[in-house]
Amino acid sequence: MAVVQIAITGSTGLIGKALVRALRDEGLTVIRLVRRPAAAEDEVRWDPFGGVDSGALEGVDAVVHLAGAGIGSHRWTDTYKREVRDSRVEGTRTLARALARLSRRPAVFVCASAVGFYGDTGDEPVDESASAGAGFLAALCRDWEAAAQPAADAGIRVVHPRTGLVLSREGGLLGKVLPLFRLGLGGRLGSGRQWMSWITLDDQVAALRFLIHDGLQGPVNLTAPEPVTNAAFTAAIGRALRRPAPFIVPAPALRLALGEFADEGALISQRVLPDRLTKAGFAFRHRDIDTALAALLD
């Protein structure tokens, strides 16, 4: 079935905004699901904990679900961890149940996930066949994906893009550290030996579009084919900006500043490979970190 009309949650985020632009450039109709009262013709209000007007979703060909509280936006208190978890798990369950009740269901439900699913993989490369790891983020991703089951049970193709670190000048990790690197104050985090699985925003958006139109289902890693260590990532930014990056942020200092997130976000080692995406024929524009940074920082 041809995809003509797409509903998206999280359309105000870094990925969501770029995806909406790309889909509209493709000539598709985009409906944005927002949590505040609808203020534009393309908006429909939804409540992640209450529900969504099913009538507004009748006739939609695909749904892309990106919404959720920012994982690294705040220090991890018990209260904020609960907010992060509930915004994803309960929001996904609410939306999946609403889609299952439609008389004309969408062909595909692209429900976001993350490489946090794998936990700390050390130096071991992993693909989608790997099981869930340990820790808060691994448990969150496992339950987040499981919450989409009502849609799958209703016959909707459900795909879970497990996204790595999205690189963009407009925000995310790279957007936060660039000012420091431009001043020559950049440096590695901890030992720098931890692996980072990354993807450029352009490739992230292109991969999401690929998943909407392609027949893949289940987990699909959205990461570049060549992950790098934090030390290599740091050196690559320094080369791209022609700035020294001599500093080291010690692990104890990161833990003091970030709390629990330091070990599951900044210091965790995740060497994740996009096996299913590559085998399906997706062509990355930016396969290695130097090519990616050259394009982003040109």
Query: Do 221 and 128 form a contact (C-beta atoms < 8 A)?
Result: yes
How far is residue 32's CA from residue 16's CA, in Å, rounded to a whole number? 10
Query: Do 268 and 196 form a contact (C-beta atoms < 8 A)?
Result: no
Q: Determine what percent of the chain is predicted with pLDDT higher than 90.
A: 78
Query: Do 164 and 197 form a contact (C-beta atoms < 8 A)?
Result: yes
User: What b-and-e string marks burial along 157-175, b requiring 16 or more CB atoms within 10 Å of the CB?
Assistant: bbbbbbbbbbbbeeebbbe
Asked if pLDDT for residue 3 goes beyond 80, the answer is no
One-character DSSP codes across 245-280: --EEE-HHHHHHHHTTHIIIIIS---EE--HHHHHT
Partners of 74 in beta bridges: none
Pair of tokens at residue 34? 């927002």
Asked if pLDDT for residue 1 goes beyond 70, the answer is no
pLDDT at 246: 87
pLDDT at 92: 97
Asked if pLDDT for residue 193 goes beyond 70, the answer is yes
Q: What is the pLDDT of residues 122-171, one digit of tens each?
A: 999 999 999 999 999 999 999 999 999 999 999 999 999 999 999 998 88
Q: Determine what percent of the chain is predicted with pLDDT higher than 70.
A: 100
How far is residue 222's CA from residue 210's CA, in Å, rounded to a whole number? 11
Q: What is the pLDDT of residues 250-284, one digit of tens each?
A: 899 888 878 888 898 889 999 999 999 999 999 99
pLDDT at 192: 95
| Among candidate residues 140, 85, 109, 103, the one with its CA nearest the CA of residue 9 | 109
**E strand intervals along 142-191:** 157-163, 165-167, 187-189
pLDDT at 20: 97
Neighbouring C-alpha atoms within 13 Å toward the C-beta of 31: 19
Domains defined for the chain, CATH in brackets: 5-230+258-296 (3.40.50.720)
Name the least confident of 184-193, 197-206, 268-277.
184-193
